[in-house]
Amino acid sequence: MLPNTSKQIKITILGSGTSSGVPLIGCKCATCRSIDPHDKRLRASLLIQSDNTNIIIDTTPDFRMQMLQNEIDYLDAIFFTHPHFDHIGGFDDIRALNFAMHKEIQVYLNQYTLDKLHKSFYYAFEVPEQMGGGVPLCTHHLITDDPIDINGLVFTPINMFHGRIPDLGYRIGNFAYLTDTNFIPESEYPKLQNLDFLVIDGLRPRPHPTHFSFDEAIAQAKTFNPKRIILTHLTHDVKHSEADLPDGVELAYDGMQFSV
């Protein structure tokens, strides 16, 4: 491992789509038929990189393609937000990284997500029935309220709600990623001040019981006064080129990058 010689952090949106992805199977709407690459939305995930470190948030059902497209063959850590399948579905594919890295992957998550991961990927947590292609190998670290330092990249957990279930957002430097939420307790507000970039769940213009709509996400984001507001976890309701958004607000797209 090289010493951490730079504080520059590069963020890449690996997926900007909702649970079904966009295009949606069987849908003939204008967004799903669009040839604009901005309208191709894999499931929601994020890559955080410094000179010597690769970290992702969530292993989506598109995890394999997201790793291949971004030529990632090493991960220092995976952070999970919550255990809905669109955020954990690619967990089995960390086997390939185990092979490439010749070691386990460090996984950071809360107890709620760990319990559900056990149920969804039971075989990874049991004595194997037989030897074969292997199982995902990882070391679990339970997240508390304390910041987590990975090679100088400090992750501050943000405790949120996604409907009734707990969900973790993360702040890294002057950037925060708050996906799959429709309620952020005021106790977390001090952690979200002085942001340059805020990527926040803004599912679609219409309301939803467990996600912020565009207007709700923008109103919530503005209480923190970040320099840029980026809506993610997007449905097919809006084409990228036709989004009608206020100044300082934009839609995420797959491959979007910025430095913090």
Q: Which residues bind Zn ion (CB under 5 A)?
A: 19, 24, 27, 29, 32, 84, 86, 180, 236
CB 155 within 8 A of CB 148: yes
Residue 24: exposure state from Cβ atoms within 10 A (0-12, 13-18, ≥19): middle
CB 17 within 8 A of CB 43: yes
Complex with Zn ion: residue 19 or 53, whichever CB lies closer: 19
User: Helix, strand, or coil here: 249?
Assistant: strand
Complex with Zn ion: residue 86 or 216, whichever CB lies closer: 86
Complex with Zn ion: residue 173 or 253, whichever CB lies closer: 253
* Smallest separation, CB 132 to Zn ion (Å): 31
Helical (H) or strand (E) element with 141: strand 138-142
Q: What are the tokens at 35?
A: 């040839």
**Alpha-helical segments (H) within 6-110:** 63-69, 85-88, 94-101
Complex with Zn ion: residue 86 or 93, whichever CB lies closer: 86
* Smallest separation, CB 248 to Zn ion (Å): 24
* Smallest separation, CB 58 to Zn ion (Å): 8
Those residues with Cβ within 8 angstroms of residue 64's Cβ, 6 or more apart along the chain or in another chain: 90, 93, 96
* Smallest separation, CB 230 to Zn ion (Å): 16
Complex with Zn ion: residue 43 or 191, whichever CB lies closer: 43
* Smallest separation, CB 144 to Zn ion (Å): 22
* Smallest separation, CB 111 to Zn ion (Å): 17
The separation between the first and the last C-alpha atoms of the chain, rounded to the nearest angstrom, is 22
Neighbours of 171 (CB within 10 A): 21
Q: What are the tokens at 52?
A: 């010597």
Complex with Zn ion: residue 24 or 245, whichever CB lies closer: 24
Complex with Zn ion: residue 13 or 153, whichever CB lies closer: 13
d(CA 220, CA 178): 11
Which one, of 208, 245, 257, 243, lies nearest residue 39 by Cα? 243
d(CA 233, CA 212): 10
* Smallest separation, CB 181 to Zn ion (Å): 9
